[in-house]
Amino acid sequence: MRPLPRLMVAPNGARRGKADHPALPVTDDELVETARACWQVGADGLHMHIRDGAGRHLLDAGRYAALLDRLAAQVPGMYLQVTSEAAGRYEAEEQRAMMRALKPTYVSVGLREMVRRPDDWPAARDFYLWAADTGIEIQHILYSPHEVRAFADACASGLIPGLSHLLQFVQGSYANGSRDSVDLEDYLAPLDRAEGLTFDWMSCAFGADETNSLVRAAKLGGKARVGFENSLHHRDGTIAADNAARVREVEAAIRNVSGASDRVDVA
């Protein structure tokens, strides 16, 4: 399993558009340009969302495949992760169908979207087993310490296979920014009880406290995801000119943080 990138950029997300910031990439051409600019200033990973002609969030295996080919040529070696996010448009079966058609090397999957109710587990388990057998590396999106506990329990019971897992902790929300953010230590605590498993984790943070939150993640041994999906703001509260400017600030802030590492092993 390839370690998560040290600094991933999430330049657009599923909900924001040009009205939120004129430099937010919406088209595939803009995504390629943004990826190249962020790669040049220190991002070694890209978390991408694609949009339809009206700018709405889209899950489309053909579009993703073509975009991944373009990006592989423009930013060789960059960690290229697609999203399977529902964003209010897709059901879990549609999300799984897209991933089965695309067979992406790296994809983010929200546990809460795969398992909305207990009777979703059989289909979700089959999907997780298929992904593991196919060699697809899933970064599991977890929005709260409660979800981290549920994820650890699912791993222990065999519902999610494997001994090594990639995680994404989400701090804050679109609605409230960083005001309802939970400390990263609370996300990590349930992993202490996950015997025999190892985790490589990353954090993202909504709102103006994004930079400080990502520095804290680096100090705790995690990775950082930065970009306009989660925040438009620099540390001083000003609006960033573009995603590359956010990458530049966070890269400088975490560059020499002691405690940063490629992987956190929790036995």
CATH code of 156's domain: 3.20.20.70
Amino acid identity at 212: N
Q: Is residue 266 part of a domain?
A: no
Query: For the chain (length 267 residues), average pLDDT per consecutive 10?
Result: 96 97 98 98 98 96 98 97 97 98 98 97 98 98 96 95 97 74 93 91 95 96 97 96 98 79 38
* Number of domains within the chain: 1
* Under 8 Å between Cβ of 159 and 125: yes
Q: CB burial class (10 A; 0-12, 13-18, 19+) of residue 79?
A: buried
Query: What would the two tokens of residue 5 be?
Result: 């990138």
Q: Is residue 263 part of a domain?
A: no
* Under 8 Å between Cβ of 7 and 251: yes
Please report which helix (H) or strand (E) contains residue 3, including its range: none
User: Measured between alpha carbons, how far is 170 from 54 in angstroms, rounded to an integer?
Assistant: 27
**pTM given for the model:** 0.94
Query: What would the two tokens of residue 151 be?
Result: 């994820």
Q: Is residue 261 part of a domain?
A: no
The residue segments making up the domain with residue 65 are 7-255
